[in-house]
Amino acid sequence: MVKSSLCMKGILMNRIAQVCVNLPARNIDKVFSYAIPETLHFLDIGWRVVVPFGSRTYEGFIVALSEETSSEYEVKPIIDVLDSQAWFSDSMLQTAKWISEHYLCTLAEAMRLFIPGKTGIKSEKQFGITPDLEQAVVEQILSRLPLQPQAVYDYLKTHEQVVLSKLKKIFGDYTEAALNDLLANKLIVRTTTAKKRAVPQFTTSVRLAIPPEEAETYLETLAGKPAQKRLLALLLQKEEVKYSDLSTWQITRDTVNRLVKAGLVKNVKHQVLRNSYAGMGRRQQTVRLTPEQQQTIDHIIPAIDEQQYRSFLLHGITGSGKTQVYIEAVAAVRQQDRQAIVLVPEIALTSQIVSRFKERFGEDVVVMHSKLSIGERHDAWQRLQEESAGIVIGARSAVFSPVTRLGIIVIDEEHEFTYKQEEQPHYHTRQVAAKRTELEGAVLLLGSATPSLETYYAAQQGRHVLLTLDKRIDHSLLPDVRIVDMREELAQGRRSVISAPLQQLLADTLRRQEQAIILLNRRGYATFVLCRECGHIIKCKHCSVSMVYHNSSNMLRCHYCQASCPAPDICPVCASRYIRYFGTGTQKLEEELGKIFPQARVIRMDQDSTSRKMAHDRIIASFSRGEYDILLGTQMVAKGHDIKNVTAVGIISADSALNLPDFRSAERTFSLLTQAAGRAGRGDKAGQVVIQTYNPEHYAIMASSSHNYEVFYRQEIEARKSLQYPPFSELLKLTVYSSDENQARSQAEQIVRQLGKELQHDRQTEIIGPFAAPIAKINNSYRVNILIKSKELTNIKSQIVALKLNSRSDVLLDIEPLNIL
Partner DNA sequence: AGCACGCCGACT
Partner DNA sequence: GTCGGCGTGCTC
- What is the binding site for DNA (CB under 7 A)? 23-28, 32-34, 52-56, 73-76, 125, 190, 809
Closer to DNA by CB, 33 or 715: give it: 33
Nearest residue (CB) to DNA, 33 versus 276: 33
Positions at the binding site for Zn(2+):
531, 534, 540, 543, 558, 561, 571, 574
Evaluate whether 197 touches 122 at the Cβ level (below 8 Å): yes
CB of 750 to DNA, least distance (A): 16
Q: Tell me the residue ranges of DSSP E strands in 498-614.
A: 515-519, 528-531, 548-550, 555-557, 564-566, 579-582, 602-605
> Across-strand partners of 176?
none
Amino acid at 225: K
User: Which of residues 186 and 532 has its CB atom nearest to DNA in the complex?
Assistant: 186
Rounded CA-CA distance 58/745 in Å is 37
Q: Which residue, 410, 389, 151, is CA-closest to 300?
A: 410
Amino acid letter, 166: K
Question: Shortest distance, CB of residue 802 to DNA, whole angstroms?
Answer: 17
**Strand ranges of the sheet holding 162-163, from the earlier edge strand across to the other edge:** 162-163, 121-129, 188-196
Min dist. Cβ of residue 108 to DNA (A): 11
Kindly provide the b/e burial profile for residues 633-666, where b requires at least 16 CB atoms within 10 angstroms of the residue's own CB. Answer: bbbbbbbbbbbebbbbbbbbbbbbbbebebbbbb
3-state SS of 236-286 is HHHCEEEHHHHHHHCCCHHHHHHHHHCCCEEEEEEECCCCCCCCCCCCCCC
Indicate the DSSP class of residue 451. -
Q: What residue type is 92 in one-letter code?
A: M
Strand order in the sheet with 630-633: 480-485, 688-693, 646-651, 515-519, 630-633, 602-605
Please give the C-alpha separations between residue 319 and each of 357, 477, 478, 494, 709, in angstroms, as whole numbers.
17, 10, 9, 35, 15
**Residue closest to 363 by CA, chosen among 278, 285, 287, 284:** 278
Degrees, nearest 5: CA angle 817-820-821: 135
Report how far apart the first and last C-alpha atoms of the chain are (Å, whole number): 67
Instruction: Please say which residue, 55 or 250, places its beta carbon nearer to DNA.
Output: 55
What are the b/e assignments for 87-106, b being 16+ CB within 10 Å? bbbebbbbbbbbbbebbbbb
The minimum distance between CB 634 and DNA, in angstroms, equals: 35
Measured CA distances, 322 to 311, 326, 478 (Å) = 16, 6, 16
Shortest Å, Cβ 801 to DNA: 17
d(CA 296, CA 468) in angstroms, rounded, equals 8
Shortest gap between Cβ of 16 and DNA (angstroms)?
Answer: 8
User: Hey, what long-range contacts does 807-810 have (CB within 8 A, 24 or more apart)?
Assistant: 807/26, 807/27, 807/29, 808/26, 809/26, 810/736, 810/737, 810/738, 810/747
To DNA, the closest distance from the beta carbon of 51 in angstroms equals: 7
Give whichever of 28 and 289 is closer to DNA, judged by the CB atom: 28
User: Considering beta carbons, is residue 73 or 132 the nearer one to DNA?
Assistant: 73
Tell me the DSSP string of 487-516: HHHHHTT--SSS-HHHHHHHHHHHHTT-EE
In angstroms, how far apart are the furthest CA atoms of the chain? 100
The nearer residue to DNA, 69 or 819, going by C-beta atoms, is: 69
Tell me how far, at minimum, the Cβ of 177 lies from DNA, in Å.
13
Closer by beta carbon to DNA, 54 or else 211: 54
- The span from the CA of 530 to the CA of 533, in Å, is 9
Minimum distance from residue 18 beta carbon to DNA (Å): 8
- The nearer residue to DNA, 662 or 810, going by C-beta atoms, is 810
- Parallel, antiparallel, or unpaired: how do β-strands 406-412 and 16-21 relate? unpaired
Identity of the residue, 33 or 204, whose beta carbon is nearer to DNA in the bound complex: 33
CB of 75 to DNA, least distance (A): 5
Rounded Cα gap, residues 289 and 287, in angstroms? 6
Quote the least distance from Cβ 68 to DNA, whole Å. 13
Which residues contribute to the annotated binding site?
Answer: 531, 534, 540, 543, 558, 561, 571, 574
Minimal distance in Å, beta carbon 26 to DNA? 6
Pairing state of beta strands 811-815 and 555-557?
A: unpaired
Closest C-alpha to 571, from 602, 529, 600:
529
Q: Toward DNA, which CB reaches closer, 27 or 622?
A: 27
Q: Which is nearer to DNA, 26 or 539 (CB)?
A: 26
Backbone dihedral region of 631: left (phi > 0), alpha (psi from -120 to 50 degrees) or beta? beta
* Contact (Cβ atoms closer than 8 angstroms) between residue 253 and residue 246: yes
| Minimum gap (Å) between residue 194 Cβ and DNA | 13
Identity of the residue, 79 or 453, whose beta carbon is nearer to DNA in the bound complex: 79
One-letter-per-residue 3-state SS of 601-639: CEEEECCCCCCCCCHHHHHHHHHHCCCCCEEEECHHHHC
Q: Which is nearer to DNA, 163 or 821 (CB)?
A: 163
- Identify any residues that bridge with 407 across adjacent strands, giving them in sequence order: none
Which regions of 336-375 does DSSP assign to beta strands (E)?
339-343, 365-368
CB-nearer residue toward DNA: 31 or 151: 31
Residue 499's CB is within 10 A of a number of other CB atoms, namely: 23
CB of 583 to DNA, least distance (A): 40
Under 8 Å between Cβ of 419 and 446: no
